[in-house]
Amino acid sequence: MERKDFETWLDNISVTFLSLTDLQKNETLDHLISLSGAVQLRHLSNNLETLLKRDFLKLLPLELSFYLLKWLDPQTLLTCCLVSKQWNKVISACTEVWQTACKNLGWQIDDSVQDALHWKKVYLKAILRMKQLEDHEAFETSSLIGHSARVYALYYKDGLLCTVFSVDYNDELDILVSGSADFTVKVWALSAGTCLNTLTGHTEWVTKVGRLRKNLLLIWPIGREINCKCLKTLSVSEDRSICLQPRLHFDGKYIVCSSALGLYQWDFASYDILRVIKTPEIANLALLGFGDIFALLFDNRYLYIMDLRTESLISRWPLPEYRKSKRGSSFLAGEASWLNGLDGHNDTGLVFATSMPDHSIHLVLWKEHG
């Protein structure tokens, strides 16, 4: 058949085919397929794949592709990156998708960085760290040996660990607070080396200057007034047998302390209880650090990380048999910025330190990224 005659025949057949019902169209195609040979069937197979499997990421505008990608979870997106180079290019270029994925993992995000590939790499790093936490493999241990006597207190700042009796200080306020065996707490001027105030009312050695009693939390003013009065007394229960755990968190806005009933968070301005986080599976957890995203806690056996968004314990690390006497082990958290969200850089260095019966210091450190 000549080309011109073929085109005329094809136009007529096309008009007739379009006028058929769907069932009639299917029967027509079945008949044509039955009449086809190997060359025609191969041609049909190759073209059907192109028609049925349209690459929507390639065909859609980039902005619309990004909008659709936001509905997929990160693990699915990583799988989609393997489909083709084009898909990998488009998915890896969606900054908002990877930033959101990092935020959902509790990662700190710098919105000024708009490099999508950077945030994809950060997410992959975050996934690894969170997997280590879930598998209880994020930390490693070490020891400091050299003390010839009992270590009463530890202090950590800027990568340095100090061992003393009982002390805390604030450079900005130019004050140092010390506890002693005469049941008092003294407030000192750092620069002058003079005592500003002496706080009385404790009935035992003050080996921790956190202003914490067995079942009461005492709020004191810091000034030059002699024998100043306690501003406020906080408790978690009228039942005096419910004890507060050692160490509290205070950042000028919130006060957080642990008890047998759970974690209690007070508003410092009003002293109202804002939040109570129950830990029914593990009782009597002591608080080490409290942030926007994570809290660091421990008991006699383990160090724990709590995700404050879900109020669940997401990781733990075994601790040795440290000194359990009333005035025994001193303990502290190390680097604390990660409690407000990991960023891929602040999960390094010291996590936890405690004094041991043999006068050594047991250290828990972040394991390096794999």
Q: What are the pLDDT digits (tens) for 215-257? A: 677 777 766 566 677 778 887 777 766 777 767 788 888 888 8
Give the position of tokens 């794949």: 49
Mean pLDDT estimate for the chain: 82
Is residue 111 in a domain? yes
Say yes or no: 68 and 85 in one domain: yes
- pLDDT of res. 14: 93
Say yes or no: 44 and 69 in one domain: no
Question: From start to end of 60-159, where are the E strands?
Answer: 139-144, 153-157
25-58 burial, b at 16+ Cβ within 10 Å, e below that, comes to eeeeeeeeeeeeeeeeeeeeeeeeeeeeeeeebe
The DSSP secondary-structure symbol of 101 reads H
Res. 315: pLDDT tops 70: yes
- pLDDT of res. 212: 46
Say yes or no: 130 and 66 in one domain: yes
Average pLDDT over residues 184-213: 65
Is residue 108 in a domain? yes
Is residue 171 in a domain? no
CA 116: distance to chain centroid?
A: 21
Instruction: Say which CATH number the domain at 82 has.
Output: 1.20.1280
Q: Encode pLDDT of 106-165 as tens digits.
A: 888 888 888 888 999 999 999 999 999 999 999 999 998 887 777 777 778 778 787 775
Q: Which residue, 86, 116, 135, sits at the end of a domain?
A: 135
- pLDDT of res. 167: 60
Is residue 261 in a domain? no
- pLDDT of res. 211: 43
Which tokens in the block code for residue 143?
Answer: 């020891």
Is residue 101 in a domain? yes
Is residue 354 in a domain? no
Say yes or no: 108 and 67 in one domain: yes
Give the relative orientation of helices 62-69 and 85-92 as an angle to the nearest 10 degrees: 80
Report percent pLDDT > 90 for the chain. 28
C-alpha 215/C-alpha 234 separation (Å) is 9
Average pLDDT over residues 271-283: 81
Which tokens in the block code for residue 82?
Answer: 């393997």
C-alpha 369/C-alpha 104 separation (Å) is 20
Say yes or no: 77 and 122 in one domain: yes
C-alpha 238/C-alpha 302 separation (Å) is 29
Give the β-pairing of 153-157 and 160-164: antiparallel
Is residue 90 in a domain? yes
- pLDDT of res. 328: 44
Which tokens in the block code for residue 87?
Answer: 């898909």
Domain of residue 107 covers: 58-135
Is residue 256 in a domain? no
> Residues 6 or more apart from 243 whose CB is under 8 A from it?
214, 215, 259, 260
How far from each other are the two terminal CA atoms of the chain, in whole angstroms?
Answer: 69
Selection from 177-186, 209-218, 259-268, 336-345 with the highest mean pLDDT: 336-345
- pLDDT of res. 151: 73
C-alpha 114/C-alpha 117 separation (Å) is 9
Number of domains in the chain: 2
Say yes or no: 48 and 85 in one domain: no
Length of the chain: 370
| Pair 129, 358: CB distance under 8 Å | no
Res. 308: pLDDT tops 90: yes
Q: What are phi and psi of 99, to 5 degrees?
A: -65, -45
Say yes or no: 41 and 63 in one domain: no
Q: Which residue, 37, 52, 67, sits at the end of a domain?
A: 52
Q: Which residue, 88, 118, 135, sits at the end of a domain?
A: 135
- For 144-166, give the secondary structure using H, E and C: ECCCCCCCCEEEEECCEEEEECC
